[in-house]
Amino acid sequence: MAKADLGLEQRIAAVRRFNRFYTQRIGVLREYLLDSPFPLTGVRVLYELAHWPATGEPATAAVLAARLALDEGYLSRILRGFEQRRLVHKKSSTADRRRKSLALSEGGRRAFAALDARSRAEVGAMLGRLSAVGQQRVVEAMRTIATLLGEAPEGGRGPPYLLRPHQPGDIGWVIHRHGALYAQEYGYDERFEALVAEIAARFVQRFDPTRERCWIAERDGEIVGSVFLVRKTKTVAKLRLLLVEPHARGLGIGRRLVDECVRFARRAGYRKLTLWTQSDLDAARHLYTEAGFRRVHEERHESFGKHLVAETWELPLQTR
């Protein structure tokens, strides 16, 4: 928890330290990138032109400058150098002769292909020093940074997610992430993690696959959520330990996890589904309301180092 408790100035220093490390590691401090005659910005312009979206929008200098957040004068000098090397050619718009669209020439495509191959080789060498697990951790950490700082998913959509039954190792993840996230987001102390550990251990020890279930949500190979349905009585089931990782929220995973619990409870023959939550868990309570649950009881208590209001919610189930 020490990292989560860093002050703003310490977080700023940590980000700047990482920036210095990574820019040096990937070679962007060199005058010319990838042993080419081009600086970093020039290589990025070549990349954009080589991958220009096939949406019909012309690749004009103004559009390219806006896309890369570059000064138009600076971009103009880069493009002039490309034209002198015959890497880029301009074509007048049929609608407006004053507008010039940009495209890579055959020589420009060959130059970019060579740069792209060198870049792949350098990144491959950097990752090659790590194990497969280490490589995956690097990729997931980069994806997390990009997502939290607002990068739009490729194609406008995030990777699909899947739900699967629990397997060895998942229960430990559930306990750890509940403890860490609830401390970070709600200020709950370690006694909440202890409660989660008790619930999860009891589920494993008494697991009845015909009447109980755990769903683990995965997105692009990473666990991003969980929920449990456990037997309370012969006719009543209980929804427990709903969690969705912050960077995976907004994708409908939480709603899907709740829906799966409701669907399974009906198939298993339960007549009622109940759950216990706290009044400060607004996002979860919103999901329960959407699924048709209604609050039937509330009680003030002091737990997990907080003054809380516990709530019991219920959903009658119509079974065939």
Torsion 293-248-240-179 (CA) sign = negative
More confident residue, 34 or 205: 205
Tell me, yes or no, whether 140 and 213 share the same domain.
no
Residue 237, C-beta contacts closer than 8 angstroms, at least 6 positions apart: 211, 212, 229, 230, 231, 261, 265, 268, 270, 272, 273, 274
Among 37-41, 96-100, 171-175, 210-214, the range scoring the smallest mean pLDDT is 96-100
Dump pLDDT digits (tens) for 252-311: 899 999 999 999 999 999 999 999 999 999 989 999 999 999 999 999 999 999 999 999
Torsion 210-215-216-217 (CA) sign = positive
The residue among 95, 128, 156 that closes a domain is 156
Question: What CATH number has the domain bearing residue 229?
Answer: 3.40.630.30
Tell me, yes or no, whether 187 and 284 share the same domain.
yes
Domain extent for 139: 3-156
Q: Tokens at residue 75, please?
A: 């971009």
The residue among 114, 132, 156 that closes a domain is 156
The residue among 156, 189, 210 that closes a domain is 156
Tell me, yes or no, whether 261 and 121 share the same domain.
no
Tell me, yes or no, whether 39 and 168 share the same domain.
no
308 beta partners = 301
Let me know if 37 is exposed, middle or buried by CB neighbors in 10 A (0-12, 13-18, 19+): exposed
Tell me, yes or no, whether 151 and 168 share the same domain.
no
Dump pLDDT digits (tens) for 99-130: 678 888 888 888 888 888 888 888 888 888 88
Q: Domain count of the chain?
A: 2
Mapping DSSP to helix (H, G, I), strand (E, B) and coil, where does residue 129 land?
A: coil
Tokens 């890369």 sit at which residue? 68
pTM of the model: 0.55
Tell me, yes or no, whether 63 and 14 share the same domain.
yes
Listed in order, strand segments (DSSP E) in the chain are 88-92, 100-104, 161-165, 213-219, 222-231, 236-244, 272-278, 294-303, 306-316
Tell me, yes or no, whether 231 and 121 share the same domain.
no
Tell me, yes or no, whether 135 and 11 share the same domain.
yes
Mapping DSSP to helix (H, G, I), strand (E, B) and coil, where does residue 311 land?
A: strand
Tell me, yes or no, whether 165 and 305 share the same domain.
yes
CA 226, CA 218: separation in Å to the nearest integer? 9
Tell me, yes or no, whether 301 and 166 share the same domain.
yes
Q: Is the pLDDT of residue 156 over 50?
A: no
Cβ atoms 310, 281 nearer than 8 A = no
Dump pLDDT digits (tens) for 42-80: 888 888 888 876 555 677 888 888 878 888 888 888 888
Tell me, yes or no, whether 189 and 306 share the same domain.
yes
Tell me, yes or no, whether 211 and 139 share the same domain.
no
